[in-house]
Amino acid sequence: MYQHIRIALEHAQQRSQHVQEQENIRRRRKTIEKYPTTRVNESTATCVNEDETTSNNP
C-alpha cells in the first residue's frame, strides 16, 4: 500500500549514505594535503634504524 513511500525512503537513505561517504573522502584528502609529512614510511624507518646500527658498530 505504501510501497512508493518505502522506495522513496530507501532511495533517500542511499543518497544520504553516498553523500556521507563522499564527505569522508574529501575530509581525508584535505587532512593528507594539509599534513603530508605526518605519515612515516615503514621502509624509511627501517633504513634509518639500520644506518644507526651500522654506525654504532664499527
Task: State the Cα–Cα distance between residues 34 and 38, nearest whole angstrom.
Answer: 10
Show the CA angle centred on residue 56, arms to residues 53 and 58, nearest 5°.
Answer: 110
Amino acid at 13: Q
CA distance 24 to 30: 10
| 54 vs 29 pLDDT, higher one | 29
Q: What is the mean pLDDT of the chain?
A: 77
Domain locations in the chain as residue ranges:
3-56
Q: pLDDT class for 6, splitting at 50, 70, 90?
A: very high
Q: What is the rounded distance in angstroms from the CA atom of residue 18 to the CA atom of residue 54?
A: 51
Q: Return the pLDDT at 33.
A: 80
d(CA 7, CA 5): 5
Condensed to tens digits (0 to 9), the pLDDT of residues 25-47 reads 999 998 888 887 655 556 555 55
Cell 553523500 belongs to which residue? 19
